[in-house]
Chain A
Amino acid sequence: MLKKNIFYQKPFRLLFSFLLVWFVLFEFVLVANGILPKPSSVYNSIKDIWGIYSFLPNILYSFGAITFGLVFSVLLIYFFRKVLLNKNIFTELIFAVNKLKHFIPVVILSAFIIFWFNNSVYIEYIFILIIGFIYLSGEMMLYSDRTKSEYILAAKSLKIIDKKINGEIKFKQLLPMLEESFLKLHFILWSVLITFEFIQHQWGFGKIIFDSLKYRDMPTLFVVALIIYLLISSGYFIIKFLFNRYVHWE
């Protein structure tokens, strides 16, 4: 379903079409409106946006948090793969925590985290990492029942050591199944991140969005939306590329 969606198939063409329509419509037809900014006013205010809102550091801060969260949650998954692929107290606990996402909105959770660690620079990174790790662990445990038995049967008969059966044969079978989960996680992390930064109001895209709403600054809001769209789309293609290049062996 996700793969067939036009937004995922051709996001850059879609963006280009949108920008073209926006340019023609809002530059020449709907000049005075409260819906979207005029293209020339966006162009003129880019310099101000860059300076007043500290655009670059904030973008790097948010982008860094997402990259850190994704990369380190994968490393943690890899590091704990043998534990996660066997039923034990640790996996039961992660499974239970993972279920909480159905009952506790991330806004509430973010509010508490910010309340406890108000001035921490690193808490956002840690929060994103924890969410990424718990989400991927839950998905991995869910998919672990769908592994092909023939690989395990053959490995047992060949007396392959247990460490390799869990650490490589089971785990590598699961990797292609995790592509969809990883793409979803990427989007979820962006949503969580922006919500978190919006509430925290210290760094990142969330802070810029907060300020642009406060000052009713439509051009900034528009530019932020475009950049987030570009980053999410690029991330989507990078993940797809990495999975196609290194994971989809079948």
Chain B
Amino acid sequence: MVEKNKILKINDLIFDNVLKNFNFEIDVSQNSINSIICFDNSASSLLKIVGNAEENFKGEVTLNENLRAIYIPKNPSSLPWLSVEENIKFILENSSYKEAVAQNQVQNLIDDVGLTGYEKHFPANNSLGFRFRISLAGTLALKSSLILVDNSLKQMDEETKFELYDLLKKISSKYNVSFLLASNDINEVIYLSENIYLMKAGNSKIIDKINLKEEWQKLNKEGRGNRQLQLKEKILHLFLQQDVNNIL
């Protein structure tokens, strides 16, 4: 039962001076949002490798059977020459993943990511939230069970970010998918995640793990805001102990 929950296992991962014999076992149970916080590109590299977007690495990445991890890059990746609907259909028609939603369910995906009425719209370059929603619909079209989000929300304004936080939570519960986010925004990961993993380039393992579910359960009279501040300080302290000095 415990083993079933541990869907992602990484052994002796070596990649481009960023990951050096990195070992990681992440407890991403179905229907959860977890984050890796780091201030270099190690988490980004890790997500690319797990999502099969990067091939030049050494080591072993194991995902539980029937689990599909799909990577959403930091910058918009929906194809600008295709409309919202065409983007999703392009993925369905050209992916070598066999299992996917039926063509007639595309509209449901568009509705669920909040793009109802924009089916024929083309993604403009500057609408980051819009394009993220298309990418998200694309991953759901292929029935992904683990969606890897690489700092995609970083450049968005606060309002869009909070809309998307809610969207991720809604999608996670409706589609029974897990999210693994790479982020350098401490507030974001505290707000969204069940578990936070602290990571630094060159380390062979994660710096620490914080289980936020437990942290929130510990709340008594103490307000959530205060606890959030304490957690932020704790995370900063842990990074400073590791000589990480480029904290944003």
Query: Chain A residues in contact with chain B, CB under 8 A?
Result: 148-151, 153-154, 156-161, 164, 169, 172, 249-250
Contact = CB atoms under 8 A, between A and B. Distances in A.
A154 B81 CA distance: 16
A160 B94 CA distance: 5
Contacts of A148: 75
A150 B51 CA distance: 13
27 contacts: A148-B75, A150-B74, A150-B75, A150-B77, A153-B48, A153-B54, A153-B71, A153-B77, A154-B72, A154-B138, A156-B52, A156-B53, A157-B48, A157-B51, A157-B53, A157-B71, A158-B95, A158-B97, A158-B138, A158-B142, A159-B52, A159-B96, A159-B97, A159-B142, A160-B95, A161-B95, A250-B124
Given A148-B75, A250-B124, 11 more contacts: A150-B75, A153-B73, A154-B73, A157-B48, A157-B52, A157-B70, A157-B71, A158-B139, A160-B95, A172-B81, A249-B80
B71 to A, nearest CB: 4
A135 to B, nearest CB: 24
User: Interface centre among B74, B79, B96, by most A CB within 10 Å?
Assistant: B79
A148 B79 CA distance: 11
Chain A, interface SS category: helix
Nearest to B77: A154
B139 to A, nearest CB: 7
B94 A161 contact: yes
Contacts of B129: none
Contacts of B139: 158
Nearest to A162: B96
A164 B70 CA distance: 18
Contacts of B48: 153, 157
Interface string B55-73: 1000000000000011111
Contacts of A158: 70, 91, 95, 97, 138-139, 142
A169 B79 contact: yes
A160 B79 CA distance: 13
Nearest to A156: B53
Contacts of A159: 52, 95-97, 142
A151 B139 CA distance: 14
A160 B52 contact: no
B42 interface: no
A135 B160 CA distance: 44
A202 to B, nearest CB: 43
A161 B96 CA distance: 6
A244 B138 CA distance: 28
B145 interface: no
B135 interface: yes
A249 B80 CA distance: 6
B125 interface: yes
